[in-house]
Amino acid sequence: MSTPQKPFSRVVEAIPPSGIRKFFDLAQSMQGVISLGVGEPDFPTPWSAREAAIHALEHGATTYTSNSGLLELREAVTDDLADRYGVRYRAADECLVTSGVSEGLDLTLRALLNPGDEVIVPEPCYVAYQPCVAFAGGVPVPVALDPGDAYRLDPAIIGAAITENTKAILFGSPSNPTGSAQSAADIEALAALAREHDLWLLSDEIYDRLTYHGTHTPVSAAAWERTVLLGGFSKSYAMTGWRVGYVCAPEPLAQLMHRIHQYTMLCAPHMSQIAALEAMRTAQDDVDEMVADYDRRRRLFSKGLDELGLTCPVPGGAFYVFPSITATGMSSEEFAEGLLTQEKVAVVPGNVFGPSGEGHVRCSYATALPQLEQALERISRFIGS
């Protein structure tokens, strides 16, 4: 018997598989690989969070929570945003706990977009942004940022892409894949542009605690009334597998996201929420230690790549570098495939983050210093060969 012959979703069929996962899966099948591919901390989740989850598991926290998430966790999130940035959201109806930032992004776009609405996506950008816009019925409008200008969200470049169909601008700061962190002045200018054209600002701030130059500037501090703030625990607290994040937005939009969430995901895992709450309460010293270690790796690895002739600006945040490999004469895919097969170092070709990423590769320095030093030696051999 054959499966039904009517076509599958044309939208989904048109989206290619994740380029990051392609190289991750290939690297997993090989022995002795130094992986600089997947953006995942190499630190364990802080013990206080793990211990809280173990205790919760042993005492029956295996049930649903409210759809919005534990009120204590939402209050901790909104209090933290107020304390660090002066940004105030109501925990009761403007903050939603999600199964990671990825779910928060999906909820945001599905609640916001009508068919044909355009979303400007500055690139290079995280691989999920444009597919998620398309899945929600929108039209992603990629806009190439200038690497010579540190991938600034230049309002002139963004403004040139605005049409009568533009609904929102979607971006991350600090950025995956470039590590660029937007300045307060650029955030203010972007907020003014959004007000002028009545646009939403969809701000992925999952790396907000991983900022190395000055203080992170949240978009909601400049344009609270039109900002969706996406945050979580995966990167800063080394909790990628726990699948817990949050989204904060003005109440009318937040409640529409809640409506979708209650019919689909229902709630984030109960014990993961308890672990996240404990992390916020007790693990800031752990975060500070991780950030200090990332900073050492960031400076060593970007300097090492520069010395090899791969131009590599020192990133301002996250845990990625995005060096240019144009001096080698290879494309991004040729470089990444050759480096993996010949020297067993896994990186991600820049073109998977959008056409403007061609000529670059993304390397995650969320791995131990000795591994990074060995990776530099292997990259040097590969370039020399």
pLDDT, tens digit, for every residue of 39-49? Answer: 899 999 999 99
* Predicted pLDDT at 215: 86
Residues of the chain with CATH 3.40.640.10: 47-282
* Predicted pLDDT at 230: 98
* Predicted pLDDT at 196: 97
Give the C-alpha separation, 234 to 315, whole Å.
20
Give the C-alpha separation, 125 to 174, whole Å.
11
Q: Are residues 254 and 94 in contact, defined by beta-carbon separation less than 8 angstroms?
A: yes
- The three-state (H, E, C) secondary structure of the chain, written as one string: CCCCCCCCCHHHHHCCCCHHHHHHHHHHCCCCCEECCCCCCCCCCCHHHHHHHHHHHHCCCCCCCCCCCCHHHHHHHHHHHHHHHCCCCCCCCCEEEECHHHHHHHHHHHHHCCCCCEEEEEECCCCCHHHHHHHCCCEEEEEECCHHHCCCCCHHHHHCCCCCCEEEEEEECCCCCCCCCCCHHHHHHHHHHHHHHCCEEEEECCCCCCECCCCCCCCHHHHHHHEEEEEECCCCCCCHHHCCEEEECCHHHHHHHHHHHHHCCCCCCHHHHHHHHHHHHHCHHHHHHHHHHHHHHHHHHHHHHHHCCCCCCCCCECCEECCECHHHCCCHHHHHHHHHHHHCEECEEHHHHCHHHCCEEEEECCCCHHHHHHHHHHHHHHHHC
CA-CA-CA-CA torsion sign (91, 93, 95, 97): positive
pLDDT tens track of the chain, all 385 residues?
788 988 888 988 888 887 777 777 777 777 889 999 888 999 999 999 999 999 999 999 999 999 999 999 999 999 999 999 999 999 999 999 999 999 999 999 999 999 999 999 999 999 999 999 999 999 999 999 999 999 999 999 999 999 999 999 999 999 999 999 999 999 999 999 999 999 999 999 999 999 998 889 999 999 999 999 999 999 999 999 999 999 999 999 999 999 999 999 999 999 999 999 999 999 999 999 999 999 999 999 999 999 999 999 899 999 999 999 999 999 999 999 999 999 999 999 999 999 999 999 999 999 999 999 999 999 999 998 8
Phi and psi based region of residue 116 (left: phi greater than 0; alpha: psi -120 to 50; beta: remaining) = left
Rounded to 5 degrees, what angle do the CA atoms 327, 317, 200 make? 105
Q: Are residues 130 and 142 in contact, defined by beta-carbon separation less than 8 angstroms?
A: yes
Question: What residues does 345 pair with on adjacent strands?
Answer: 34
Q: Which fold has domain 47-282?
A: Aspartate Aminotransferase; domain 2 (3.40.640)
Give the C-alpha separation, 235 to 326, whole Å.
30
Q: Which long-range contacts (CB under 8 A, 24 or more apart) does 207-210 make?
A: 207/172, 207/174, 207/175, 207/176, 207/235, 207/236, 207/317, 207/318, 207/319, 208/174, 208/236, 209/235, 209/236, 209/287, 209/291, 210/174, 210/235, 210/236, 210/291, 210/294, 210/317, 210/318, 210/319
* Predicted pLDDT at 27: 72
Tell me the pairing of strands 166-172 and 361-364: unpaired
* Predicted pLDDT at 29: 76
* Predicted pLDDT at 225: 95
Q: Are residues 168 and 119 in contact, defined by beta-carbon separation less than 8 angstroms?
A: yes
The side-by-side arrangement of strands in the sheet containing 348-349 is: 320-321, 361-364, 348-349
Query: What is Dmax (Cα atoms) for the chain?
Result: 63
* CATH tag, 15-39+285-384: 3.90.1150.10
Residues of the chain with CATH 3.90.1150.10: 15-39+285-384
